[in-house]
A = this chain, B = another copy of it.
């Protein structure tokens, strides 16, 4: 499952060099991960309520910036899960500007709950199989895991 999100680059996303200030790309990608889960039937609001999680925070991220984007540009981001691990998963985002791959980003996120011992602490938990299954269409779980692994960057 690949989610596609169209983003208008705004004036306020750009810096004095006239190009997108790079932290904004991560805000875009965070919204793209949200959109990917929504496409799988899991809006952020619903996901938090159904699974009593604190969120899906990042433990690792890397990005390559191949070409700059500017205000008034409209870009498209393609997002997909590339791997399901026990309590974490990997998301790849590819941002295209006029069909050119401009930014590529790899996120590793954890399925995180508030600790039972200390409400302030956050700890990882196995990703529910039904969540993983929502990203597969008519395939069984072992196939999903296998395919995801193959695509692994």
Contacts and interface: CB of A to CB of B under 8 A. Distances in A.
B27 A10 contact: yes
A15 B12 contact: yes
Contacts of A16: 11, 14-16, 18, 55, 71
A114 to B, nearest CB: 9
B31 A23 contact: no
Interface in A22-52: 22-24, 26-27, 30-31, 34, 43-46
Contacts of A15: 11-12, 14-16, 55
Q: Which 5 pairs, one residue from A and one from B, show the smallest C-beta to C-beta distance?
A: A45-B72, A62-B62, A23-B26, A17-B55, A23-B27
A95 B57 CA distance: 17
Interface of A: 8, 10-12, 14-19, 21-24, 26-27, 30-31, 34, 43-46, 54-55, 57-66, 68, 70-72, 112, 120, 122
B68 A11 contact: no
Given A15-B55, A44-B72, 10 more contacts: A12-B15, A12-B21, A14-B16, A16-B16, A16-B18, A21-B27, A26-B26, A45-B70, A45-B72, A68-B122
Contacts of A19: 57, 122
Nearest to A63: B61
